[in-house]
Copies of this chain bind each other. A is one copy, B any other.
């Protein structure tokens, strides 16, 4: 399913401020700080690497849009071969659909009836353009409420639509999902009782495995997840119910799910931008060599004998997975970033004999975690030609910024 409709005008969308619009075509030096900057060349290379990888392994990919939250980037991913996108929130799904994305999977549980009404409305809206909506469940109540919402929507919309429903099993994340094995069977059977729901398979995402540092630890964790999936699938299929698809995987472990022969769809999202946390992983030899493509441009606003202070703190970048790294264009300028609070970063030299940056100097930070960093910004500034001598190519709206509900 290719994304065909152009994004419809949405009055709620924030207009691009003049100062940002006027930046297009300007050299990177003109970018005010702090700002979230995407190296578009690196991003495109990452996209091509992912597309190649998926093709080589003959596996579907559905990147997680909770990371970039941009319908324009989602459409770019689908043009490169992605089947659609994942999201975590109903409001993110709405933002993607409003931006012309027609195949969306809410890889999370939705329980509130008024929110399920929005899910059902979206399913009908997408069905009308031959698109598709999917969702995860992990409780009978979740299934029953979803079916109710779909029935109510059918009455309102005057047409039938079907939503794909995945049963989530907990393969090690210790968050949502039923335990692997027998608990998934009654849910699959319950889904099949409702005409508006289609049992689409298993959601088996192991988020923690992404951040295990050694390749061996990740192999062990995903090995267990694969066993869990195989065991659960067997029990469901023993009831005569086919399990069409197993979906999961993030950037840190995708080579393992892809090689498993069990997963049919990869949800990895971070590969597009990467971050300082993923950079700490020992790389699996099979892993495509994804590059950093997301940066915070910052300026030194204060200096003293011991440190320099830059204008990017944790209102500019998320620190849940660690502080940002200072991007070093050359080794002689290695700096360490220390937490300076909401609006400041403290910079110290990484080795003796090095110099602190001068007042007014611009630096580039590699955020610790891309997803919540993007969510702090209304817009990303897309640069082509590199961070040193490139120019601003486009302004990318973070359509689903703050889309929490």
A343 to B207, CA, bound (A): 12
Residues on B with C-beta less than 8 A from A138 are: 302
B66 close to A342 (CB less than 8 A):
yes
Distance of A264 from chain B, by nearest CB (Å) = 24
Residues on B with C-beta less than 8 A from A318 are: 314
B17 close to A141 (CB less than 8 A):
no
A405 in the interface (beta carbon within 8 A): yes
A: number of interface residues (CB 8 Å): 67
Q: Which residue of B lies closest to A177 (CB)?
A: B302
Distance of A38 from chain B, by nearest CB (Å) = 16
Residues on B with C-beta less than 8 A from A88 are: 342-343
Residues on B with C-beta less than 8 A from A404 are: 34-35, 311-312, 315-316, 377
Q: Decide: A405 near B32, CB < 8 A? Known: A315-B375, A318-B314, A343-B89.
A: yes
- Could you mark each residue 280-323 of chain A with 1 if its beta carbon is under 8 Å from any beta carbon of chain B, else 0? 00000000000000000001111110110101101110111000
A14 to B403, CA, bound (A): 14
B299 close to A111 (CB less than 8 A):
yes
Distance of A336 from chain B, by nearest CB (Å) = 15
Distance of A106 from chain B, by nearest CB (Å) = 11
A39 in the interface (beta carbon within 8 A): no
Residues on B with C-beta less than 8 A from A315 are: 371-372, 375, 402, 404
Distance of A177 from chain B, by nearest CB (Å) = 7
A242 in the interface (beta carbon within 8 A): no
A9 in the interface (beta carbon within 8 A): no
Contact of A309 among B176, B299, B340, B343 (CB under 8 A): B176
Contact of A207 among B89, B301, B341 (CB under 8 A): B341
A178 in the interface (beta carbon within 8 A): yes
B15 close to A15 (CB less than 8 A):
no
A354 to B147, CA, bound (A): 32
Q: Which residue of B lies closest to A88 (CB)?
A: B343
Residues on B with C-beta less than 8 A from A47 are: none
Contact of A111 among B34, B307, B319, B359 (CB under 8 A): B359
Q: Decide: A175 near B346, CB < 8 A? Known: A112-B32, A301-B109.
A: yes
Residues of chain A from 188 to 244 with CB closer than 8 A to chain B in the complex: 207
Residues of chain A from 133 to 180 with CB closer than 8 A to chain B in the complex: 138-139, 141-142, 170, 174-179
A43 in the interface (beta carbon within 8 A): no
A261 to B142, CA, bound (A): 61
B402 close to A34 (CB less than 8 A):
no
Residues on B with C-beta less than 8 A from A401 are: 402
Residues on B with C-beta less than 8 A from A170 are: 304
Distance of A212 from chain B, by nearest CB (Å) = 15
B360 close to A111 (CB less than 8 A):
yes
Residues on B with C-beta less than 8 A from A111 are: 299-301, 359-360
A333 in the interface (beta carbon within 8 A): no
Distance of A316 from chain B, by nearest CB (Å) = 6
A73 in the interface (beta carbon within 8 A): no
Q: Decide: A176 near B344, CB < 8 A? Known: A111-B300, A301-B110, A359-B111.
A: yes
B378 close to A108 (CB less than 8 A):
no
Q: Which residue of B lies closest to A31 (CB)?
A: B405
Residues on B with C-beta less than 8 A from A35 are: 404-405
Q: Which are the 7 A-B pairs with shortest beta-carbon distances?
A: A176-B302, A109-B301, A88-B343, A32-B405, A111-B301, A34-B404, A109-B302
